[in-house]
Chain A
């Protein structure tokens, strides 16, 4: 039931998370920051704006990105397989990339291509994470994992660590905000969207927050307090990282993911498999 509610209200929830994040970020920089409801004010403002579009295909892909992202979350929360949810996420990336490369703007095209680099950095690790959940709890089912009487975080600390550093890649946070790179390619895939269509992409990104933090929550098993604690910790850690680091090159991101994070996760899986 609560899964269904979270799925339905994901955009609203994501908006709140986004609002809180902006405040936390501002406080870290000794600013007051916008009110919590600022994303929603933005929402209404953007919906009211006159829509400028490049062409219909591009605008449509913005909407498809939002739908695909929402549907992916539904698959994660209402389905019974983590792995399918991981593979579903590729559909959202497809919509974003097709949209980004459909316009003749260097910024957008470059952003779309960099989005692909993001994908090869986090996708294999998500698969490994799903597998290690299976090894510990005996199921890919999110409900079984959430009723698992144990502490997955203590059995897969390296996977958690790897995932912690992959989150900036998924949520476009510094040092891995390479596809968006505001100072460099001005938002990348989202630069050419405006008005309601931009809002669709923007809301899609809110839903991505819920998607990612659901995975973090799973690390607590049936100890929900631990799950919530982990989510809060991750949230603050990612923002701290975002505020304190400079952007890296995309090559460094891919290398970091492939030569540091994935081996760590594999090592963890080997240890779990031997322990059983």
Chain B
């Protein structure tokens, strides 16, 4: 089984090397298609195999990793000096100093360096089923007047391997190396187009994520100083005497990686890169490290002040990112803000830490990965095939791009409506939190979840509203011929999301609950019978799931098929001329609150680390 884990990490790297050196279309396309079944097979094999897997490595790899660490940090230093960026340079210097201190005090340990449990293999599955299709999509996307296709695909492939590696390490010092490697990957991808804006945004991503790296190093120092161990498994096995300050810094790095406000800018900056970058950063890799890290330490921080403060911070981000998203008019930016918002929700549920809350968090991770990957892919198609970037350009989209519009509609439905995963996650969280409303943070949690989901709903409805606007019926639908690859990937996601929604009850009670059980070692009161999902005493019946699904399916598909036999008239306009263009609200009035929201989130951040970490 250990060989499967190693293959899961190495195969993307080998493929990346092949793609990089051969630079042939046929090899790139073939390998990216081949990767999908391989990774899917390996990840499911690992998931249903004997878990957990411990892999002991020789001392040699430790030294190799240290050398790699320094190489990476010196590369960051080089980048900082080359681009004259003070933040990158100083943070790289700080990291080098801290790393030297850490390495000098690091005791030797016999704990396995690689530890693969159900959570890690769950992320493998997401990487395989969500990440790989994005690479297949990228092979076609880069054909639309973009340069360096093969290099781009190679970086993406390598990134998948790094992600697989990052979630399977047990040694936090190794985790630091992998964490910084994903930072490097995001820098390379964001600045891929090499123009001024791209490089600036890449540097922004670089230094912001370096703060996360610094936080991990500080956490390591504290952990070694107080406990003498620095492995995830050791932390989980001795929950009582772990340095809470170290956990505070670890969660700080998670918040930075998860682009929580006030660090949201690096993820927003990622939109200057080719769209597959956004797709892969938002769905399968990179930002998912954030909820992963919180889930890792969730059993330890459960019910501590740190967890409660994390709930408030991330819940605040959940609401305020959704509010700020209302003021945006760039489609990819809207999607990015909704990712930030939902990442907040994922971390909130993970920080609550009860078995059902952890299940909710895993549900959100899974469904968000699929839905956001899907939406970004459609955004890329809109950009390349229909030249639509802003929601003001989305008018009459239902006629111009019927299939893409239908997919976007469905993606948005997935993000908030009954019976899809995002709804189930929120529902479970509210029901679970209702059981222990003894602390203010849990009451705030309910307000945050209720409010945030309402704001996200109106965001999606606003965007959908503008794209269905039409003066006359949808008579002349133009089915623009899209490349086969695009259609294949779109249908891949569409069918996955649809079938996951229908079989949501067995999916949760068999698949996801087993992971949560593995993480918490508690019995979880979630079961399904006849496709109905029961949580404690509440049931989401199958007729409700099916009814909602049918109504929503009719709403998003039927407009293309239904033609009423009736007399057509012009809309009533009180005798005035018909307006040429009807926009939508831009929520300008909210913009002036943005600095306050930012200031508040900075304050919450500091409070979380200082008070939650017990530094005072």
Contacts and interface: CB of A to CB of B under 8 A. Distances in A.
A53 B548 contact: no
Nearest to B570: A54
B564 A56 contact: yes
A64 B558 CA distance: 10
A84 B544 contact: yes
Contacts of B570: 54
A177 interface: no
B455 A83 contact: no
A137 to B, nearest CB: 11
B443 A269 contact: yes
A116 B555 contact: no
Given A105-B571, A128-B447, A56 B473 contact: yes
B559 interface: yes
Interface string B430-455: 11001001101001001101110111
A50 B585 CA distance: 34
A131 interface: yes
Interface string B562-587: 11101111111110001100101100
Contact of A124 (B450, B562, B584, B589): B450
Contacts of A91: 417-418, 548, 551-552
A255 to B, nearest CB: 11
B470 A98 contact: no
B537 interface: yes
Interface in A58-89: 59-61, 64, 67-68, 71, 74-75, 79-81, 83-84, 87-88
A74 to B, nearest CB: 8
Interface residues of A, number: 69
A74 B449 CA distance: 25
Given A52-B566, A124-B447, A192-B571, A131 B430 contact: yes
A251 to B, nearest CB: 7
Interface stretch (B261-269, B344-352, B460-468): B460-468
B111 interface: no
Contacts of B569: 52-54
Contacts of A54: 472, 568-571
A91 B451 CA distance: 17
A87 B552 CA distance: 13
A87 B427 contact: yes
Contacts of A117: 458
A141 to B, nearest CB: 7
A135 interface: yes
A91 B460 CA distance: 12
A31 interface: no
Interface in B467-522: 468-474
A43 to B, nearest CB: 18
A107 B457 contact: no
B579 A113 contact: no
B430 A60 contact: no
Contact of A51 (B449, B457, B566, B589): B566
Contacts of B438: 273
Nearest to A95: B555
Contact of A81 (B469, B474, B539): B539
B470 A71 contact: no
Contacts of A81: 538-540
B105 to A, nearest CB: 45
B547 interface: yes
A122 B436 CA distance: 24
B443 A266 contact: yes
Contacts of B447: 124, 128, 262, 266
B551 A68 contact: yes
A83 B431 CA distance: 8
B330 to A, nearest CB: 20
A269 B567 CA distance: 53
Interface in A93-115: 93-95, 97-98, 100-109, 112-113
A28 interface: no
B423 interface: yes
Contacts of A93: 457, 461
A88 B438 CA distance: 28
B541 interface: yes
A84 B547 CA distance: 13
A107 B574 CA distance: 10
Contact of A192 (B417, B455, B552, B572): B572
B416 interface: yes
A57 B578 contact: no
Contact of B461 (A84, A94, A109, A273): A94
B26 interface: no
A124 B469 CA distance: 28
A196 to B, nearest CB: 9
A59 B555 contact: no
A171 interface: no
A210 B457 CA distance: 24
A119 B538 CA distance: 25
B554 interface: yes
B430 A57 contact: no
Interface string A110-151: 001100110110011011101100110001110000000000
Given A101-B465, A124-B450, 14 more contacts: A88-B544, A91-B552, A94-B555, A104-B469, A105-B573, A107-B573, A109-B469, A112-B465, A123-B450, A123-B457, A130-B430, A192-B571, A192-B572, A270-B440
Interface of B: 398, 416-418, 423, 426-427, 430-431, 434, 437-438, 440, 443, 446-447, 449-451, 453-455, 457-458, 461-462, 464-466, 468-474, 537-541, 544, 547-548, 551-552, 554-555, 558-559, 562-564, 566-574, 578-579, 582, 584-585, 589
Q: Which 7 A-B pairs have the closest CB atoms?
A: A101-B465, A127-B450, A105-B571, A55-B473, A123-B454, A124-B450, A51-B566
5 contacts: A52-B567, A88-B544, A109-B469, A109-B582, A186-B574
